[in-house]
Amino acid sequence: MMQPQIIILKDGTDTSQGKGQLLSNINATYAIADSIRTTLGPRGMDKLIVDSKNDVTISNDGATILKLMDIVHPAGKALVDISRAQDAEVGDGTTSVALFAAELLKEIKNYIEEGVSPQTIVKGFRKASVLLIYREFRALLEKCASTAMSSKLIHGQKDFFTKLCVDAVLHLDQDELNEDLIGMKRVSGGAMQDSLFVDGVAFKKTFAYAGFEQQPKAFKNPKILSLNVELELKAEKDNAEVRVKEVSEYQAIVDAEWSIIYEKLEKIVQTGAKVVLSKLPIGDLATQYFADRDIFCAGRVPADDLNRVIKAVGGAIQTSVNDIKPEYLGTCESFEERQIGGERFNIFEGCPEAKTCTIVLRGGAEQFIAEVERSLHDAIMIVRRAIKNKSIVAGGGATEMEISKYLRQYARTVEGKQQMVISAFAKALEIIPRQLCDNAGFDATDLLNKLRQKHSQVAGGTWFGIDMESESIGNNLDLFVWEPALVKINMIASATEAACLILSIDETVKNPQAEQPDQQAMRGRGRGMPRR
């Protein structure tokens, strides 16, 4: 008796499975890694990306490029996720982690084709990862400090921006090292060296009403009041229907509207505040009222800027002007509205509550300054991590070559298929120095052979990597090419997890796209339905 056919999935569902699916996923991840391969290292190239809104971004940051590429391949999205995670966790190494994950999969692709079980490979990868991160090589990963700017757009001004980054991080509370307290503002025009460090909070002058120019623009030790209150004259006719029988009744309503806002303003003046900030608008009546009493005000202050001001100067955001106590007000050593390039900035310096700072970036095109900001963010995160962990390693592929040597030696002590899996892991690590050579136009085969020879020595070769200046190899620890150990630890862990995840997938089920009503109509017409 014939078994009835059971339909589980919707008509049009795309399914693919087995070895072919696994190889397809590996090819997809390698193709994605190919798109950012040339951005690695000091001689890496930039990518120009135009999104669906025709917004242009120029960057060589791996996480930024992968995010803007809008990748739709289900397995390929794993590379985007680990690159974002690397950016969030340590701030740098976003290109390296994607390249390494793809290279791991490429190295074992032949084994998959020959019928080796993916679970055998996953087991070998996890074993190699644990060996590098948590056991014998942990001591090696805890020896040195980091610089992340050599591969960025601003490497020509590395000395200037390095000082800026270190100043910013050292300015923070060393117990918390909260990077959110470092603000970055962009001002088009001027040279990159015109960028400046502000010991406090700075934000662009907000929309100004009539009377603003009569307000004082500088104070010493002012009291600062932060509000979430609208200080505009609002006519009740806009909010409600009011019926009156006599002119005097109408006048009473108008007088009430004016008396309400004047009462609010008087209560603010009585607090003694000399700087009044609000998330909501401060209208022309209030602006002129404050100007007559030598008070500075700014309305429509962005929420993140106002929150940073609160953390820096103290006090709290008030949602009402009633019963404002002195402890609700903040203060700072100096407040000033200053011209920077073509913009005016409100600057609070000498803030007592939280150690905060602002970096005002200068430069040419907006896209250029945006890339400078991303580069500085990476460098700031690296300096912060180096201070927190106090463990650094040599960059330029030195660490990858050393741990690759260690894994090759360990693989000889292992029996069975695990030996070739761990050897493949070791070979995949060489993608970092190899790609650095390719991007710089060096002979990768020759330099990698030299590096293998150096690292095979009993002593003295541990920190040898690619030296971009001499176009050869060198001791990158002595040459101050440093990276935090955490960058490498996170790269190995994240890339291994991504590779194991992709290897554990043997089937993809893709639901059909829901058709729009106009598409359904077009299909209907194709079947002979009459036009209306």
Active site residues: 61, 94-95, 378
Q: Which of 140, 169, 129 is nearest to 394 (CA)?
A: 140
Alpha carbon 193 to its chain's center: 23
Q: Which two tokens stand for residue 62?
A: 């791996």
Q: Which of 101, 98, 104, 97 is nearest to 426 (CA)?
A: 104
The set of residues, in sequence order, having a beta carbon less than 8 Å from that of 319 and lying 6+ positions away, is: 227, 228, 229
Report the C-alpha gap between 474 and 532 in whole angstroms.
78
Report the C-alpha gap between 196 and 279 in whole angstroms.
26
Report the C-alpha gap between 372 and 389 in whole angstroms.
26
Q: Which of 171, 273, 262, 193 is nearest to 227 (CA)?
A: 273
Report the C-alpha gap between 179 and 173 in whole angstroms.
10
DSSP three-state, residue 343:
strand
Find out whether 60 and 37 touch, Cβ atoms under 8 Å.
no
Element (DSSP H or E) covering residue 482: strand 482-484
Residue 511 DSSP class: P
Report the C-alpha gap between 526 and 34 in whole angstroms.
42
CA atoms within 13 A on the CB side of 260: 14
Report the C-alpha gap between 473 and 139 in whole angstroms.
24
The set of residues, in sequence order, having a beta carbon less than 8 Å from that of 416 and lying 6+ positions away, is: none
How does DSSP assign 347-415, residue by residue? EEES-SSS--EEEEEEESSHHHHHHHHHHHHHHHHHHHHHHHH--EEETTTHHHHHHHHHHHHHHTT--
Q: Which of 451, 484, 448, 468 is nearest to 44 (CA)?
A: 468
Element (DSSP H or E) covering residue 428: helix 417-428
- CB-based burial, 276-315: b 16+ in 10 Å, e otherwise: bbbbebbbebbbebbbeeebbbbbebeeebbbbbbbbbbb
